[in-house]
Amino acid sequence: MKKKIISSVLALMLVVGCLPLAALAAQNDIDAAQAPTYNESTNEFFAGGTPITIEDTDEAGKAALIKWDGGQQLIAADAAVYGGSDTVSSNIHLSSTSITMNGGQVKDLVGGNKTKNEKSGCDYSLIDTVTLDINGGTITRGLHGIDNQHTAFGADVRKEQNGKSYKNYAIGDLNVTIDGATVNDFRGVTSYAYAENVDVVVGRDAAAQLKGFMWGTNGIIGNATFTMYSGSTDIGQSILRCCILGKMTYNILGGEIGDIYAGSYYPAEETAAGSNNWDGWGFGGVDYGFVGSTEINVGADAKYNDIISGFQYREDVEIFKNKYADASWCIKEIDTTAPIVLNLSARPSAEKLDAFSVIGSDASYVTTNWKATGITLDQNELLLNAGGRAVQLNASVLPEYSTDSIVWTTSAPEVAEVLDGRVDPRSAGTAIITATAGDVSAQCEVTVYEVEEPQVPTIDPSKPVDKVEVGSTSNTHVVISSSANQLVTEILAGKAVDAVDEATKEAVKQAAESGKAITAAVSVELMDESQVTEADKALIKESAGKVAGGAVVAQYLDLKVLLTADGVELGTLNKLNSAASFTIAVPEELKADGRIFHIARLHDGKVDLLETVQNEDGTLTFSTDRFSTYALVYLDGSSGGNGNNGGETTTPGGDSTTDTGKGSDSANTGDVLPIAVLGAALAISAGAVLTLRGKQSKFRHMK
């Protein structure tokens, strides 16, 4: 039968509960801890429930020094150390035992009691909690939780022996840590014995060497968990004729381990003859046993040779059951489809996979999850407009054969929703879009800018005005909104912009990144001639004079787009991405038959006479994409005008642009054009008002 690979990554550890030990032996009172004793003739040390510490020693002929509160004992290299007592011919129920090993050498270290159970007159031998903390030193033969020296095998362990249950010789919780030590072999339980929960941690604080690992031989365990962070373990044999009634969990997070058996260790898997060899075996030769359920998790930093199915998953298990149907030790209720979950972040290192029988990855009772080790997004930041087009984010998962599904989430669904990577902008703000595959994730920060409908005042041409007023036309708010939105987006994207100066650019950037509302509003200030430099007045006069020598300046205007945030001025928007139209209401005292009006724009040292429409209702309309100083000028019919131009367009003749040569504020020696409308400067809130909210996107990686 062809061998298949099964491999693993870290997942949550589930525990199948069993009855607490106190409930199993409630009739037995807890005995007080005993004083430690040492039997030199048998070279056995019994702590009797008293916490002990094993250290190295320089004493000749001795391998370790055992210390406890109030005493110490030197022992030889071939000594066996028990955390409990000698109960071969007596009963005991201890609350706990505790052994800490920091150095030295022992042959065997057993957390529980020494017992041969009912055959030698021991009715019960119980310990609620056993703690083994191995920080250093060497254990040359075995590290055991409980070692019952009784010859009960397989199904016989779960039967009463002389009126006694295996739960009469038990440990409640067995907690083992192995750091920086060398251990030949670990076994949780042996023979006619029981442990409710076994938890073994290897290499969490320091790398350890563990040659072989086994939960037990012929014993019974409720639940068992093995976690490895560093160091090495030659093989995870799991069980020999042992039964784990609940769940067996391996968490291989780091370090190196050889083969891991999902179920009972069965070396005959490597023998082509398989069950044909059984004729020469006795009840102790066949490594039968079973596990209620298995979970094997292998992290990305761990190395392992292979994962192999245990005896219970062999296709010829029925042959075994039939062959030994009459044997009292034959476990007839072996579950051949007990569930197995494999969470794998690393592939096995085995090159030749030729075992006789292994779990097929396609078996219905096997769930194989190839865990993702990395995930990336094709975009780490997005700038989107509320209600605008959706953008698709694409995630790449490593390894490519990962079975982890990608889950998309958003931190703020009211700002941006996400479905299968499609990001839909909803309202102003910032949202973190996260793509998660198993234990790894990647994020994209999405900033949504919202452009509100501008507030655009209008001019009622049926109402007379006593001063020049400027208002907006229907397209003004669209152009201002588009220009301001484009400006903020380009600034946050790090692009070069020429619509604002550097100071304004930085102020806008900081305000947007702080999540403040940015407002763009058109402002018009009526200026008297004292607010205009002589040089600028001369330029405007020169340009107006090219239309007709008698042109008169009726009003100077300061037209601009102010950018503010929370009422604080950030600067001015000096240029739009397209022309916006404005309407001017002219006072009755400025109107006259045959009078023609023009708009002169002074921007960056140049004067342009703009195309002006004189409407039937007496208002004027012009378009511009730049802002600074403007002048309303007129030309009477007696100076060359063409009479009432209602509804017609006035286009300046000749060269309508004059360059200042940039700079001179000196007075012009020519005539100063008269100001037809006088009075203090007045700011008119006339412009398209819009609001932008948000802050610049930035990329965020958790594993």
Q: Residue 372: its pLDDT value, please?
A: 92
**663: region left, alpha or beta (phi > 0 left; psi from -120 to 50 alpha):** left
Average pLDDT over residues 639-645: 43
Which residues span the domain enclosing 416? 375-449
**409: region left, alpha or beta (phi > 0 left; psi from -120 to 50 alpha):** beta
Choice among 349-358, 521-530, 623-632 with the minimum mean pLDDT: 349-358
Percent of the chain as helix, strand, coil, to the nearest 5:
10, 45, 45
Tokens representing 460 are: 């009622």
Q: Residue 662: its pLDDT value, please?
A: 40
Burial of 303 (0-12, 13-18, 19+ CB in 10 A): middle
Q: Which is more confident, 598 or 434?
A: 434
Same domain, 49 and 134: yes
Same domain, 567 and 491: yes
Same domain, 247 and 270: yes
Banded pLDDT at 697 (limits 50, 70, 90)? very low
Task: With residue 489 as reference, give the H or E element that holds it.
Answer: helix 476-492
Q: Contact, 471 vs 458, CB < 8 A? A: yes
Same domain, 358 and 380: no
Residues 6+ apart with CB under 8 A from 697: 381, 382, 383, 430, 444, 445, 446, 447, 492
- Examine residue 527 and state whether it is found in any structural domain, yes or no: yes
**230 residue type, one letter:** S
Average pLDDT over residues 426-432: 89
Q: Residue 249: its pLDDT value, please?
A: 98
Q: Residue 654: its pLDDT value, please?
A: 42
Q: What percent of the chain has pLDDT over 90?
A: 42
Same domain, 223 and 319: yes
Give dist(CA 688, CA 583) in Å, integer.
13
Q: Residue 667: its pLDDT value, please?
A: 30
Same domain, 406 and 516: no
pLDDT at 671 over 50: no
- Examine residue 506 and state whether it is found in any structural domain, yes or no: yes
Same domain, 194 and 77: yes
Q: What percent of the chain has pLDDT over 70?
A: 78
Q: Residue 469: its pLDDT value, please?
A: 87
Question: Last residue of a domain, which of 414, 449, 484?
Answer: 449
Burial of 368 (0-12, 13-18, 19+ CB in 10 A): buried
Collapsing DSSP states into helix, strand and coil, what is residue 422? strand
**103 residue type, one letter:** G
Residue with tokens 């391998």: 63
Tokens representing 435 are: 């793509």
Task: With residue 159 as reference, give the H or E element that holds it.
Answer: none
Backbone angles phi, psi at 321, to 5 degrees: -60, -40
- The CA-based angle 450-451-456, given to 5 degrees, is 155
- Examine residue 275 and state whether it is found in any structural domain, yes or no: yes
- Examine residue 661 and state whether it is found in any structural domain, yes or no: yes
Give dist(CA 181, CA 441) in Å, integer.
36
Digit-coded pLDDT (tens) for 558-603: 988 989 887 899 999 999 999 999 999 999 888 888 888 889 998 8
- State the average pLDDT for the chain: 80
Q: Which is more confident, 40 or 686?
A: 40
pLDDT at 687 over 60: no
Closest residue by Cα to residue 83 from 111, 55, 102: 111
- Examine residue 697 and state whether it is found in any structural domain, yes or no: no
- Examine residue 242 and state whether it is found in any structural domain, yes or no: yes
Map 160-182 to HEC letters: CECCECHHHEEEEEEEEEECCCE
Collapsing DSSP states into helix, strand and coil, what is residue 200? strand
- Examine residue 108 and state whether it is found in any structural domain, yes or no: yes
Collapsing DSSP states into helix, strand and coil, what is residue 590? helix
Tokens representing 236 are: 């995870």
Same domain, 619 and 647: yes
Banded pLDDT at 278 (limits 50, 70, 90)? low
Average pLDDT over residues 108-119: 84
Give dist(CA 683, CA 73) in Å, integer.
98
Q: Which parts of 566-619 are beta strand (E)? A: 568-573, 575-585, 596-603, 606-610, 612-614
Task: With residue 199 as reference, give the H or E element that holds it.
Answer: strand 194-202
pTM equals 0.64
Task: With residue 145 as reference, give the H or E element that holds it.
Answer: strand 138-148
Same domain, 206 and 336: yes
Give dist(CA 411, CA 427) in Å, integer.
13
Task: With residue 260 as reference, give the H or E element that holds it.
Answer: strand 256-262
Give dist(CA 627, CA 518) in Å, integer.
19
Tokens representing 311 are: 């005896």
Banded pLDDT at 640 (limits 50, 70, 90)? very low
Tokens representing 107 are: 């042959």
Average pLDDT over residues 627-647: 67
CB atoms within 10 A of CB 409: 14
Give dist(CA 556, CA 391) in Å, integer.
48
Give dist(CA 244, CA 100) in Å, integer.
27
Q: Which is more confident, 445 or 346?
A: 445
Q: Is the peptide bond before 399 cis (omega within 30 degrees of 0)?
A: yes
pLDDT at 519 over 50: yes
CB atoms within 10 A of CB 651: 12
Digit-coded pLDDT (tens) for 140-168: 999 999 987 766 666 777 777 667 788 88
Tokens representing 355 are: 């075992």
Map 108-132 to HEC letters: EEECCCEECHHHHCCCCEEEEEEEE
Average pLDDT over residues 111-133: 86
Q: Contact, 218 vs 153, CB < 8 A? A: yes
CA-based radius of gyration for the chain? 45
Same domain, 500 and 412: no
Q: Contact, 430 vs 697, CB < 8 A? A: yes
Tokens representing 80 are: 């066996």
In CATH, what number is assigned to the domain containing residue 411? 2.60.40.1080
- Examine residue 702 and state whether it is found in any structural domain, yes or no: no
Strands 366-370 and 690-692: unpaired
Banded pLDDT at 281 (limits 50, 70, 90)? low
Same domain, 527 and 605: yes
Same domain, 399 and 489: no
DSSP of 20-52:
-HHHHTTTSPPBPPPPPEEETTTTEEE-TT--E
Closest residue by Cα to residue 249 from 212, 292, 287, 219: 292
Question: Last residue of a domain, which of 333, 355, 370?
Answer: 370
Burial of 460 (0-12, 13-18, 19+ CB in 10 A): exposed
Burial of 318 (0-12, 13-18, 19+ CB in 10 A): exposed
Q: Residue 112: its pLDDT value, please?
A: 95
User: What residues are paired with 582 via a beta bridge?
Assistant: 472, 622
Diameter of the chain measured on Cα atoms: 139
Digit-coded pLDDT (tens) for 441-475: 999 999 887 666 555 556 777 788 888 888 877 78
Task: With residue 377 as reference, give the H or E element that holds it.
Answer: strand 374-377
Question: Last residue of a domain, which of 335, 350, 370?
Answer: 370
Tell me how many domains the chain contains: 3
pLDDT at 84 over 90: yes
